[in-house]
Amino acid sequence: MLFKNIGIIDENFDFKPNMYVGVKDGRISCICDAQPEGDFGEVYDGTGKVLMPGLVNAHTHSPMTLLRGYAENLPLDRWLNEKVFPFEDRLDCDRAYWGTLLSIAEMLESGTTSFSDMYFFSEGIMRAAKDAHAKINYSRSISSFTEDVSFFDDERVKEALEIAEKYNGTEDGRIKIDMALHSEYTNTYPMIEQFGKYIGEHDFISHIHVSETESEHENCKKKYGKTPTELFESVGILDKPCLFAHCVWVDENDMDIFARKGVSVVSCPGSNLKLGSGVCNINRLLEKGVNVAVGTDSASSNNALDMFREMYLISVLPKGINNRADIVSPKEVLKMATVNGARAQGRGDCGLLKEGFRADLIVLDMNRANMYPDYNAVNNIVYSADKSNVVLTMVDGDVLYRDGRFKYIDVEKVGRECNRIVREVTKELGL
């Protein structure tokens, strides 16, 4: 495809009007201000539109779209124990498949080209990702509740390792497998220690919930005399790449550890606000040089998988909390939602509109009421745009969503199947 006469958000996150961008063999082959030579196949007239890197949802739980609107107005501990866990006990790989397809469809239509997912029923999620041609970093969540746990004998660990062997690097690299320790509070120390030893001997990114609530953070300090971050560092987990989700209650020393160890922090402002967990100190993390990415968390706690909504929140919350309108600029927010997320996923050739990079691209229609006047395209994208502005989503040069239509997903069928599953599960729960 050749995009012509289109505005772009370039690799420095500056806006350039009336550009040409060529895509060949799944990668960006040229970016220029005049029509390049050669045959690119379809020519896309981008008049009145902007081409930019696709958004990276760096923390979510895709099958949990099945719980959208189900568990509301509860703090995290009650939300999990009273509502989420009983519902999840009724799921299986087939049900997870349909929930994941629904998540992928929602993400594609809102401009997300890659996502980091932590869950279980792994085969169902992998089947959905393959069928939808999605780009995913997947990790099977590991939890343990007994002290006599043996790492390689644990059923959750076995599933995680089997999935890694079977799927890591498949689908031309679109599927990457990470390793997920669900959290400190859902694991015993022997499992945490053994997870650290395994990670130290293998090349996987660790994906972990960290200091999401005040009680989680403080209880860990009472139990171990260390914060969750300090605990994970002590067992060697931070010696390899880490993706820490939430980090709402981390302290200054935790943040220094992130900066020193190269930990990526994924802020999920919508979910954290809705569950009453608090607000991540984005500005302080940025000041310390931490790689900050953006996630939606699940549709159960958010309730949308719309990264534009998260970008708005992640830009304005630090301003209000710090009483400073000049911090966390729109450019920084765009970086967090694109290239920083790609770095957190270990995808060094994604997240930028740059020659040679993977063609994970989205087109925004700027001829909409919410995008006028056009003083500054970058400001408008962060502060004014929403998913309705997305008219095309491309992953590895393949157009997966365009003008309301999906290439590989029958969204109406997916919706019907998800409604069927919810009716069945609620009946099983006696609701």
Q: Is 306:280 a contact under the CB 8 Å cutoff?
A: no
Instruction: List, for residues 85-108, the tens digit of each pLDDT value.
Output: 999 999 999 999 999 999 999 999
Take residue 341 and report the two structure tokens written for it: 């997320």
Q: Is the peptide bond before 373 cis (omega within 30 degrees of 0)?
A: yes
Q: 123, 258, 263: which is closest to 205 by C-alpha?
A: 263
Residue 77 has pLDDT above 90, yes or no: no
Structurally, what CATH architecture does the domain formed by 55-344 represent?
Alpha-Beta Barrel (3.20)
Is residue 403 very low, low, confident or very high in pLDDT (cuts 50, 70, 90)?
very high
Burial zone of 279 (CB within 10 Å; 0-12 exposed, 13-18 middle, 19+ buried): middle
Residue 74 has pLDDT above 90, yes or no: no
pLDDT of 38 reads: 87
What's the DSSP call for residue 82?
Answer: I
Strand partners, 362: 52, 393
* DSSP result, 85-138: HHHHTT--HHHHHHHHHHHHHHHHHTTEEEEEEEES-HHHHHHHHHHHT--EEE
Question: What confidence score (pLDDT) does residue 203 get?
Answer: 95
Q: Is the pLDDT of residue 71 over 90?
A: no
Name the strand (E) or helix (H) holding 258.
Answer: helix 252-261
Judged against a pLDDT cut of 90, whether residue 366 lies above it is answered with: yes
**Percent over 90 (pLDDT), the chain:** 96
Share of the chain above pLDDT 70, in %: 100
> Quick one: pLDDT band at residue 325, thresholds 50, 70, 90?
very high
Domain boundaries, the chain: 2-53+351-406, 55-344
> So what CATH class is 2-53+351-406?
mainly beta
pLDDT confidence of residue 231: 98
Q: Is the whole-model pTM more than 0.95?
A: yes
**pLDDT confidence bin for 149, thresholds 50/70/90:** confident
Report strand pairing: 2-9 vs 49-53. parallel
Q: What is the pLDDT of residues 253-302, one digit of tens each?
A: 999 999 999 999 999 999 999 999 999 999 999 999 999 999 999 999 99
Is the confidence at residue 204, as pLDDT, over 90? yes
Residue type, 264: S
Instruction: Read off the pLDDT of residues 10-62 as tens digits, 9 standing for 90 and up.
Output: 999 999 999 999 999 999 999 999 999 888 899 999 999 999 999 999 999 99
Q: Flag whether pLDDT at 76 surpasses 90.
A: no
pLDDT band at 70 (very low <50, low <70, confident <90, very high): very high
Give the whole-angstrom CA distance, residue 113 versus residue 56.
Answer: 6
Mean per-residue pLDDT, 329-337? 98
- Looking at residue 80, what is its pLDDT? 87
Rounded CA-CA distance 128/98 in Å is 7
For residue 215, give every residue at least 6 positions away whose Cβ sits within 8 Å of its Cβ, in sequence order, or none: 77
Average pLDDT over the chain, rounded to whole?
97
Over residues 168-194, the pLDDT tens digits come to 999 999 999 999 999 999 999 999 999
Region 392-404 average pLDDT: 98
